[in-house]
Structures are given as structure tokens and as C-alpha cells.
Chain A
Amino acid sequence: MSHDIRNTPVSGPPDGAEPATPPLGAGAAGMERVLRRETRPSRAVVSMIAAVLVSVVCGYALLETGVRAIGQPPWLVDPLTAAERVVALPAGIPPLLLGVTGAVVTMAGLFFFLNAVLPGRRARHLFPDRRAAVVVDDEVIAAALARRARMAANVSPEQVMVVVSRNRVVVNVRPTSGIPLRQDTVLEAVRRELQDMHPVPMPDVQLQVATAGVVGA
């Protein structure tokens, strides 16, 4: 079990006003597009894998077809023989091998297809800045918040773990055994740090204090 403390809208400047916040990506019209692209995955690596896969298959087919076209003996298998074998398919190959091959090909196809269809978001937040567009990895935000929480809670780095997702920051603290943890202080420190960063979108802060303490930390 652990205690949950959630914060409702962050105390600080009143919501809706946001006067001091400079626009995201100040600088150019094309920057909006850049920011949109920076926060979504491009699928470049998967595309390259697919392209290489198709190229290898086509390359081999080209080799055999070319050899056939100039009337030379085939390298591994003649295209027509291969086609005949494919037509006769359930026969001529162990059913287990065929089934496993089918399963593997299906998995590969599913992988490519889901990569194409599913929406994706990179674990990044945007920061407002006067001059430049700023994109920050959630990992970096989490590390900074963890340091602040650790200093506020006066515990060692291993006792704090922060998880940052798009709309939520979860601060996990394991207090030192025998030393009470002032939850309000920790929460306030993390909230203030987050307020200073002002990431877009602004996540909620949630503090989870483990009931089991760490001995001798």
C-alpha cells in the first residue's frame, strides 16, 4: 500500500491567463511543423528494415530471373520450378516447418502493419522559450524532478524514482526508516520545479510514499 497525494491545478499564476509564457517555437512559421514532427516518431528505421528486406528478396529474384533470361543454369532454384513447388505447397515440405514459417512471416507482417497504422508519440515535452523551440525528453525532466524531490525529502538518490508520462508525473519515494517524510514539502518542491519548467502539456503531480522504509540509508 502507498499513500496517494494528487495535486489539483498547480498553485501559482492563475490558470487561463498565462501572460508570461512566450509562444512555443518562437521564430518561424515552419517551426510548428517541426515541433509536431519532433514529438512523433518518424518510422525511418522500420522503413529502412522493410526496404532492405524487399531489396534482398528482389535481388535474389533478379539473379535467378537474369540467369534464366540469358539461358544459364540456375544458381539455387529455377524460377519455374520454384513456382511449381509453391503451387504444390502443402506437399513437399514438413507441415511443422511450413506452419512455423507462416507464423514468422505473419508476425513480421503484423509488425510492419502496426508500425504503419498505430499513432505514436515520443516521450517528449515542449518548453516555452523566448527565442527557440525547445523539445525535452521526458527522461531528462524526470531526472531533474528526481533530484529536486530527493533534496526536499533529504534521502539518497536510490530512494527516489520519478516517472514522467505525457499527462502525469509520478514521484515514488521510499523514506528512510525512522525518519518521517514531510510529504507536503516534497510535493511542493516538485510542483514548483515543474512550474518553473512549464512543460507543454502540463502534467499532474502524484506522490507515492512507500510504507516500507529503507534501513540505514
Chain B
Amino acid sequence: MNNTPRVLNRILLGIVGIVLLAIGVLLMLLVSVPAVAAWWHGWAGGVLSFWLDLFARTQFPGRQESWLWLVICLVLVVVLGLMVAWVAQQGKGRTNLLVAEEDPGGVPGNVAIGGGVAEQALRAALADRPDLTGVTVAAYAIRGEPALKIRVEPRQGVAPHTLAAEISALVEALDAVIGRRTPVLIRIGSGARSRFGRAERVH
């Protein structure tokens, strides 16, 4: 329901995975195969001397330090920033407004209905049910359009289809109150409380 960037996740995870795999396999080969160790000395030695040369040529005028260090710092800062941005992308997409549109009536202005309205109403309607251990209602934006996600955790053995039908009826009542059909996702799941709590006794 949220806007987690799934393709990006897969691509970046693939890159991280391949890099780690390569490093790990190299380390193991270095230990076990002498020929690889010899090749590694030659190749990595070449790379290192190239960098040392680069450092020597990029010194500040009149000082020993190379400004390449600052460039590396900058690159690392950028990578860190990208990682923070990546984490920030996960699970976002929550929105506060359920309805926001211009009022067609005579009074100028907009009408906005917060997601809290739906949340409070549905929570209150489902609060007294003994067959539920948890209810979460949240509004998300799907391609800019607000949608409602209702997550309920029934006790063990509760028939999910009747539960879905009852919540669906509540949603229809909510439609009448709000005056607009918002897309709704009902998710019937199981959490720790519904899994280990006692089953409903009265059927």
C-alpha cells in the first residue's frame, strides 16, 4: 500500500550483494589458492602505486597534504547522504487528508477532510468487537489519490470472509458520511496477540 521503491530496492540490494560476494570470494581464494595471491599482489600493487602517484601529484602548493583527500571525503559524504535518502524512501506514502477539493457551493474555499476522521470512526465502530485483537486505520496516497488501509487482526478461528463483509459494510456507511468513495484496502492479518491469545470461545 505504501510507496516503497521496490525496483530500486532490488537494484541496490543486488549491487551490494554482488560487491560483498566478490570481496568474500576473493578473500577465500587468497587463503586457499597461491596463484590468486600472486595475481592479487601484482594487480592491487599496481592500483595502489597509481593512487600513490595521484596523491603525489595533487598536493596543495607548498604543503604536503593532497587535496584528493578532501575529494574522497566529499564522495563519502555523498554516498552517506544517498544511503539516508534510500532509507527514507522505505514505507513512505502516508497522507493526512482523505478528501481535499474545492467546494462547489456559493462560499469560496476548499473542503478538506483529514484521515483521522475515518480512523476514529472505524476504530470506534470496531472497538467493542471481541473477535478482534487489533485495528489499525491509515490513509495513504496512491498516485496522489488518497486511499484507506484498514488492518485488522482477528482472533484464531474467526471466519475472514464474514469479517471482511462486516468491515466492508462499515466502510459503506463511512462513504455516506464523507460523501465520497475512497479506495479501501482491508487487510486481515495475524499478529502476536491474535496468534498466542486464546481463541474465541463463543461461536
Chain A residues with a Cβ under 8 A of chain B: 25, 27-28, 30-31, 33-35, 37-38, 40, 42-44, 46-48, 50-55, 58-59, 61-62, 65-66, 68-69, 71, 80, 83-84, 86-90, 95, 98-99, 101-117, 127, 129-137, 139-141, 143-144, 146-147, 157, 193, 196-198
The answer to whether A99 touches B27, judged by C-beta atoms less than 8 angstroms apart, is: yes
For residue B120, CB closer than 8 A to chain A, the reply is no
- A50 touches which of B16, B72, B181 (Cβ 8 Å): B16
A197 to B163, CA, bound (A): 11
Task: Given A30-B183, A62-B73, A116-B17, check contact A134 B188 (CB 8 Å).
Answer: yes
The answer to whether B21 touches A136, judged by C-beta atoms less than 8 angstroms apart, is: no
A95 to B160, CA, bound (A): 57
For residue B184, CB closer than 8 A to chain A, the reply is yes
Task: Given A62-B77, A144-B157, check contact A37 B6 (CB 8 Å).
Answer: yes
For residue B18, CB closer than 8 A to chain A, the reply is yes
In the bound complex, residues from chain B placing their C-beta under 8 Å from that of A35 are 185
Interface residues in B171-203 by Cβ distance below 8 A to A read 171-172, 175, 181-190, 195, 199, 203
A50 to B87, CA, bound (A): 9
A143 to chain B, nearest CB (A): 4
The answer to whether A34 touches B147, judged by C-beta atoms less than 8 angstroms apart, is: yes
A130 to B80, CA, bound (A): 47
A118 to B26, CA, bound (A): 24
B127 to chain A, nearest CB (A): 20
> Can you give 11 A-B contacts (C-beta < 8 A)?
A44-B9, A54-B83, A98-B30, A98-B31, A102-B31, A106-B28, A130-B168, A131-B184, A134-B164, A134-B187, A139-B195
Number of A-B residue pairs with CB-CB distance less than 8 Å in the complex they form: 259
For residue B95, CB closer than 8 A to chain A, the reply is no
Closest 8 CB pairs of A and B: A102-B27, A113-B17, A109-B20, A106-B24, A112-B17, A109-B21, A105-B24, A69-B69
In the bound complex, residues from chain B placing their C-beta under 8 Å from that of A86 are 44
Query: Scoring B residues 69 to 86 as 1 if CB is less than 8 Å from chain A, else 0, what string do you get?
Result: 110110011011001101
Task: Given A108-B20, A133-B185, check contact A47 B168 (CB 8 Å).
Answer: no
A137 to B189, CA, bound (A): 5
The answer to whether B186 touches A133, judged by C-beta atoms less than 8 angstroms apart, is: yes
The answer to whether A98 touches B19, judged by C-beta atoms less than 8 angstroms apart, is: no
A48 to B85, CA, bound (A): 11
Q: Knowing that A98-B30, A112-B16 are A-B contacts, what are 15 other residue pairs whose CB atoms are under 8 Å apart, sorted by A's residue number?
A: A27-B182, A30-B143, A54-B79, A87-B45, A89-B44, A90-B30, A90-B37, A109-B23, A113-B14, A115-B13, A116-B11, A131-B168, A139-B195, A143-B190, A144-B158
For residue B103, CB closer than 8 A to chain A, the reply is no
B55 to chain A, nearest CB (A): 8
The answer to whether B90 touches A116, judged by C-beta atoms less than 8 angstroms apart, is: no
For residue B97, CB closer than 8 A to chain A, the reply is no
- A47 touches which of B12, B160, B175, B199 (Cβ 8 Å): B12
The answer to whether B73 touches A42, judged by C-beta atoms less than 8 angstroms apart, is: no
A51 to B86, CA, bound (A): 7
The answer to whether A87 touches B24, judged by C-beta atoms less than 8 angstroms apart, is: no
